[in-house]
Amino acid sequence: KIRAFDPVAADNARRIFRDNELVEILDEQYAVCQGAQALLVVTEWNQFRNPDFAQIKSLLTAPLLFDGRNLYSPSAMAERGFAYFCIGRPAGA
């Protein structure tokens, strides 16, 4: 099941996925992390650039983050205790 949050596209996403029971669009960005196995960042709105990583880590079942926009530093994420995967960034970059 996918829980998603987008501050701009939520209404459109609800319309598109209204008949898909596997997709839920939420109105609060941290609510998507509650009990989730991983967080996938696929948009780079400013509010996602410096989130409360401690809150995210406490809400996830495991500190697993996939970053499709390469917003975060791999070393900083490691220091925060996340298993961090940058999509499209060369290893070591």
The residue behind tokens 């995210």 is 56
The Cα–Cα gap between 40 and 17 comes to: 18
Helices (H) and strands (E) in the chain, counts: 3, 5
- Is there a domain that residue 91 lies in? no
- Is there a domain that residue 78 lies in? yes
- Say which CATH number the domain at 29 has: 3.40.50.720
DSSP annotation of 70 reads -
> What is the tally of structural domains in the chain?
1
* Domain span holding position 65: 2-86
Query: What local confidence, expressed as pLDDT, does residue 88 receive?
Result: 84
- Is there a domain that residue 92 lies in? no
Q: Which two three-digit tokens encode residue 60?
A: 């996830």
pLDDT tens sequence for the chain (93 residues): 999 999 999 999 999 999 999 999 999 999 999 999 999 999 988 899 999 999 999 999 999 999 999 999 999 999 999 999 998 877 666
Query: What local confidence, expressed as pLDDT, does residue 91 receive?
Result: 66
What is the secondary structure of 13-45 as a DSSP string? HHHHHTT-TTEEE-SSGGGGGTT-S-EEE----
- Is there a domain that residue 73 lies in? yes
Query: What local confidence, expressed as pLDDT, does residue 79 receive?
Result: 97
Q: pTM of whole model > 0.85?
A: yes
